[in-house]
Amino acid sequence: MNHNPFISAYAFEKRFGLPRLRLTIEKAELAYAMYEPETIDWCKCIVETVCKHILKENNPDYVDDGKTDLAPLMKEALKAVDVPDPKIRSGITSIAYGIAETRNKDSVAGHGKAGDKPLISKTEIQIFASVCDNVVMVLLAHLDKKPPDIRHTTVVFDQLESLLRLGEYNRITDSSVEVTYDQDEGLLFIDGKELRPSEILYHFDRETYAARIQQAKESAADSTEDRADAIKQKIESLVYDLLLEHWYDDYNPNHFEYEDPEVWIDSFKENLEKGELTAFGSVHREMRVDVSSDEYQTKSGADEIVVHLYWMIDEENPDDFEVDSDELILEEIDWV
């Protein structure tokens, strides 16, 4: 049975939950299965990613500048996992230097080479992958000897529970902490620490989170549409009353009658902070002059209107609002 040279890399990825590293390992496996030359590129990337994450695990403030070569990177990673023997550290650092040099010399993906340069052999690919696997295995073995700092570690929860044998302690914690839930605010409190259910789903069940967000968007859209219809109807009613009350105040001819105006509100803009609303729409009116005569005239027309009003919103029932009728102003735009 052929040895899988990526077992240690997969173990490292599983411990820390690193999707980028998993993708790199999968690419390396596919290339290695066909003994493709780019296997060495992917293997070097695996070793680099492992070293960088070890440095981040050891120091939360670590920032990858993308410029450090593999050999000095390996040297720092070996220190971070507390490899005690300087000769071992020096030897593995030299191996890292060899990995980088081999990749630079024989790569087909990283640097352009002369077209007639021989490709790296199957045996060389096998040796290269095995060397990288052993380097990762050494780092992982020494990492096991150094308990992670619970306050800062990036080890995934179930791996941390197994690694530090925290199962019983976690059960005690689960049963002893105070958990409260504020239904109105949608907040969860554990020992006074505020947690948002949406954030919990985001971190632990991304599929459910995505489904919930889609449901929330659809619900919000329906609610917004219903509220818009309610506001439009209320404004139309207010404008209608205003027109009946004031429209014909300055109309002098005797003997006239009119049809009730028709009001349409097409759109509106809200300023929630100031409690202001501007509505845009139109109104159709019709009147008959000299109705006592056989030759009465019918006049009709339409106005484009803008309505400015102020209202008060009930915080508990935002769809219910009261309009300050003294502040309602009807502005005629033009006569058609």
Question: What residues contact 82, with CB distance under 8 A and at least 6 apart?
Answer: 142, 145, 146
- CA–CA distance, 26 with 32 (Å, rounded to integer): 10
The whole-number pLDDT of residue 1 equals 43
Whole-structure pTM value: 0.57
What's residue 291's pLDDT? 46
Q: How many other C-beta atoms are found inside a 10 Å radius of the C-beta of residue 270?
A: 15
Share of the chain above pLDDT 90, in %: 32
User: What pLDDT is attached to residue 255?
Assistant: 46
CA 314 to chain centre: 32
Please report the sign of the dihedral spanned by the C-alpha atoms of residue 167, residue 169, residue 175, residue 181. Answer: negative
- How is residue 180 written in tokens? 């409260």
Task: Give me the pLDDT at residue 116, please.
Answer: 65
Q: Say how far apart CA 83 and CA 22 lie, in whole Å.
A: 26
Q: How many CB atoms lie within 10 A of CB 237?
A: 13
CA atoms within a 13 Å half-sphere pointing along the CA-CB vector of 245: 9
Tokens of 62: 């670590």
Q: Which amino acid is at 111?
A: H
What is the distance between the alpha carbons of residues 282 and 203, in angstroms, rounded to a whole number?
50
Give the pLDDT confidence of 255-279 residue by residue, as tens digits: 455 566 677 777 777 665 666 667 7
91 CB contacts (<8 Å, ≥6 apart)?
Answer: none
Q: Is 86 helix (H, G, I), strand (E, B) or coil?
A: helix
Compute the residue count for the chain.
336
> Among the residues of 164-296, which ranges form H helices?
167-176, 197-204, 206-246
E strand or H helix at 89: helix 86-106
Residues in the chain, pLDDT under 50? 1, 250-255, 291-297, 313-315, 318, 325, 333-336
